[in-house]
């Protein structure tokens, strides 16, 4: 087997085997492990997998909640040269089958998170699948059929017997699925090198260390959760694992274990801040020292609230994607040690204050140390497609043959699909998505830019901007607005409200005027604003389904005009 590089994610085990003999490496429910115990478990599982017949390049699908067992499987599979393919436990049966048919796993690891689609799987003929393993402690808890258990695979193997690392073809270690905006999963092939340099970047920029107590708020089936988990394994930090995020469980874990760091997306941050806590604000929040946000920018209000709620925490934001093994850029949103106002915020180099949503684009900070970025522009504009290259870039999509993919991620650039530019201070600013671009009256409109402006209005809770066909403009800009609870929508076309009314009422005219005051170009201002009274449709990874929003808007408008 060719050694594709000297990088292997299991190198962290040498450190873990000597660390934390007097404190825990993993905490999951009532289970506790110190470093050597965790490493022994990984080695025993790796030997059991070899004995079972798992070979180099074989794919192991994992569909489970977060636990220390999940971490053991990720490392053991990599140790013997296998490839782990985490499945999203939120998927329905059809999505799970699409993913497995793509990667053809030989082994499937499951727990009760899959109960909703397990019976269908049993009757489904997947030719590649040879073994099924249950992570449940109670025998036959998933179903009435016979499963292998994790302990049965480990049984009888000397846990301290050294093994030689193996590499899968191309140095692949993970197939991480991303749904895009269409909902169909795509398998992103990630190398050992990509995962390691991403982990090192998080250690360097966020400041993770052996002293951290890290709460797994993100699922280990997502690249953000995976990359952060490996960063913590490399430092030897303590892992606190809850099966899945809910605010109550997270708060209890923070208070009980003195959690110092966690990652969020905007929804997780909002849930933590707004969770019921009784008369007193829970004291555990003071232990938090580092919060890394991804999966979308935090609003100015949420940044302010987070800084007040976690007064000792450094709050950072990251921009990236699954195809780049998580974060491309980082920026500091708030640092209590700097004793600076929360707003305006400093840029990542501290030279010039900026707003969270400047007039042109959202600032997402500077590239990580291993990341190379460039903007591909057409004509004289400084705005263009964001490209990247480096060891962090995926090898290919799994169903793409190696000959059709880049020969080396250091030679060819990956198009992120995002539009943006690099400002005078070296910060990357996002304008929008290439495939979400609206062509209106010959001009390009990026929905995210319009959304970033309108989302700042105090009466707007949520917003999605789409383009619908128009005979004159080609596409018309339409904004779908979710109101905050204490606001009402007015259908009258007037800006003449009293001050008290202005604070409680919104209308199309008021929001258009707001866009003008924020210096949004006239052709970008929505021609139609629709009051949206339900949740926006999302993919299983939390991305807006703009295609479904667009269809519903067109149906709504067609019905409205036909009744006139």
Task: Determine which of 99-108, 134-143, 440-449 has the lowest per-residue pLDDT on average.
Answer: 134-143
d(CA 297, CA 361): 12
d(CA 412, CA 417) in angstroms, rounded, equals: 15
Residue 47: CB partners within 8 Å, gap ≥ 6?
Answer: 154, 157, 158, 161, 163
pLDDT at 167 exceeding the cut of 60:
yes
Burial grade of 205 (CB within 10 A; 0-12, 13-18, 19 or more): buried
- Note whether residue 528 is domain-resident: yes
Any domain includes 123? yes
Task: Report d(CA 538, CA 356) in Å as an integer.
Answer: 24
For the residues 369-395, what does the mean pLDDT come to?
Answer: 91
Is 214 part of a structural domain of the chain?
no
User: Are 24 and 164 in a shared domain?
Assistant: yes
pLDDT tens across 496-549, in order? 544 445 458 899 999 999 999 988 888 899 999 999 999 998 876 667 888 889
Euclidean distance between the first and the last CA atom of the chain, given in angstroms as a whole number:
71
Same domain, 165 and 20: yes
CA 323, CA 101: separation in Å to the nearest integer?
20
Residue 418 sits in the same domain as residue 532: no
Residues 127, 5 share a domain: yes
Per the CB < 8 A criterion, the answer to whether 111 and 65 are in contact is: yes
Whether 94 shows a pLDDT value over 70: the answer reads: yes
Q: What pLDDT, on the 0 to 100 scale, is given for residue 410?
A: 39
pTM of the model: 0.82
**558 in a structural domain:** yes
The model's pLDDT over 441-472, given as tens digits with 9 standing for 90+, comes to 777 788 988 998 999 899 999 999 999 887 77
**Are 11 and 143 contained in the same domain?**
yes
Mean pLDDT of 134-160: 72
What mean pLDDT, rounded, does the chain reach? 85
Q: Which of 140, 164, 191 is the last residue of a domain?
A: 191
Q: Among 471-480, 500-509, 551-560, which range has the highest average pLDDT?
A: 471-480
> Of 388, 408, 434, which one is at a domain's C-terminal end?
434
| pLDDT value of residue 386 | 95
For residue 405, what are the domain limits? 372-434
402 and 488 both lie in a single domain: no
Give 379's DSSP letter. T
> What single DSSP character describes residue 96?
H
- Strand runs (DSSP E) across 161-260, as ranges? 172-178, 186-191, 213-216, 238-241
Shared domain for 413 and 442, answered yes or no, is: no
Model confidence at 317, pLDDT cuts 50, 70, 90, reads very high
CATH of residue 456 = 3.30.300.30
Residue 5 confidence (pLDDT) above 70: no
- The reply to whether 519 and 429 lie within a common domain is no
- Both tokens assigned to 155: 């049984």
> Could you say which of 396, 416, 434 is where a domain stops?
434
For 546, the token pair is 């703009």
Q: Is residue 36 domain-shared with residue 180, that is, in the same domain?
A: yes
301 in any annotated domain = no
Domain annotation covers residue 143: yes
- The DSSP output letter for 318 is E
Over pLDDT 70: what percentage of the chain? 84
Do 140 and 5 sit in the same domain of this protein?
yes
Distance CA 500, CA 486 (A): 13
- Please report, for residues 32, 493, 509, the alpha-carbon distance to residue 490 in angstroms, rounded to integers and kept in the order given: 57, 8, 10
Q: What is the pLDDT of residue 416?
A: 93
Q: Which of 106-115, 180-189, 205-214, 521-530 is most confident?
A: 205-214
Q: pLDDT category, 346, cuts 50, 70, 90?
A: very low
Please tell me whether residues 508 and 463 are part of one structural domain.
yes
Specify the DSSP element, H or E, that contains 103.
Answer: helix 93-103
> Looking at the structure, do residues 427 and 474 belong to the same domain, yes or no?
no
The rounded Cα 361 to chain-centroid distance in angstroms is 21
- Domain tally for the chain? 3
Is residue 207 one of the residues assigned to a domain?
no
Does residue 243 belong to any structural domain of this protein? no
| pLDDT tier at 407, thresholds 50, 70, 90 | very low
- CATH code where residue 420 lies: 2.30.38.10
Tell how strand 238-241 and strand 26-28 pair up: parallel
């Amino acid at each position: 087997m060719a050694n594709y590089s000297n990088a292997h994610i299991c190198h962290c085990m040498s450190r873990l085997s000597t660390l934390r003999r007097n404190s825990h490496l993993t905490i999951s429910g009532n289970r506790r492990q110190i470093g050597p115990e965790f490493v022994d478990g990984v080695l025993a599982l790796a030997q059991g997998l070899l004995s079972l017949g798992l070979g180099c390049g074989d794919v192991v699908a994992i569909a489970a909640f977060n636990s220390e067992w999940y971490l053991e499987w990720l490392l053991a599979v990599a140790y013997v040269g296998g490839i782990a393919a985490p499945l999203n436990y939120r998927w329905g049966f059809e999505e799970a089958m699409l993913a497995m048919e793509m990667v053809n796993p030989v082994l499937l690891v499951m727990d009760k998170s899959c109960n909703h689609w397990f019976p269908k799987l049993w009757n489904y003929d997947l030719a590649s699948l040879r073994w099924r393993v249950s992570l449940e402690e109670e025998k036959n808890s998933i179903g009435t059929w016979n499963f292998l258990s994790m302990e049965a695979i480990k049984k009888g193997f000397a846990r301290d017997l050294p093994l030689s690392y193996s590499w899968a073809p191309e140095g692949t270690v993970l197939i991480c699925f991303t749904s895009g905006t269409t909902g169909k999963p795509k398998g992103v092939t990630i190398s050992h090198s990509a995962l390691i340099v991403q982990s090192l970047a998080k250690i360097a920029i966020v400041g993770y260390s052996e002293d951290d107590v890290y709460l797994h708020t993100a699922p280990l089936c997502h690249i953000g959760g995976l990359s952060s988990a490996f960063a913590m394994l490399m430092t030897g930090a303590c892992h606190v694992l809850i099966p899945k995020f809910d605010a109550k469980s997270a708060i209890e874990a923070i208070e009980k274990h003195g959690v110092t760091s966690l990652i969020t997306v905007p929804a997780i941050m909002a849930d933590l801040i707004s969770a019921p806590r009784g008369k007193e604000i829970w004291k555990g929040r003071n232990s938090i020292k580092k919060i890394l946000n991804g999966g979308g920018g935090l609003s100015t209000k949420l940044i302010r609230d987070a800084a007040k709620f976690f007064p000792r925490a450094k709050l950072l934001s990251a921009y990236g994607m699954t195809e780049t093994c998580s974060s491309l850029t980082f920026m500091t949103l708030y640092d209590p040690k700097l004793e600076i106002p929360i707003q305006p915020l400093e840029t990542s180099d501290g030279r010039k204050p900026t707003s969270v949503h400047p007039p042109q684009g959202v600032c997402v900070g500077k590239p990580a140390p291993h990341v190379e970025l460039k903007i591909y522009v057409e004509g004289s504009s400084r705005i263009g497609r964001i490209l990247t290259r480096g060891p962090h870039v995926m090898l290919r999509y799994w169903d793409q043959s190696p000959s059709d993919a880049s020969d080396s991620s250091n030679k060819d650039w990956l198009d992120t699909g995002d539009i943006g530019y690099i400002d005078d201070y070296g910060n990357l600013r996002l304008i929008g998505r290439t495939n979400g671009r609206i062509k209106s009256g010959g001009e390009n409109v990026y929905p995210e830019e319009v959304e970033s402006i309108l989302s700042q209005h105090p009466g707007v809770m949520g917003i999605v901007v789409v383009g619908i066909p128009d005979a004159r403009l080609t596409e018309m800009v339409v904004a779908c607005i979710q109101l905050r609870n204490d606001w009402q929508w007015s259908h009258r076309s007037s800006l003449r409200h009293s001050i008290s009314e202005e604070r409680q009422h919104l209308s199309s005219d008021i929001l258009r005027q707001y866009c003008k005051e924020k210096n949004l170009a006239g052709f970008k201002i929505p021609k139609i604003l629709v009051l949206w009274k339900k949740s926006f449709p999302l993919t299983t990874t939390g991305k807006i389904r703009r295609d479904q929003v667009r269809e519903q808007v067109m149906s709504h408008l067609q019905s409205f005009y036909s009744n006139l």
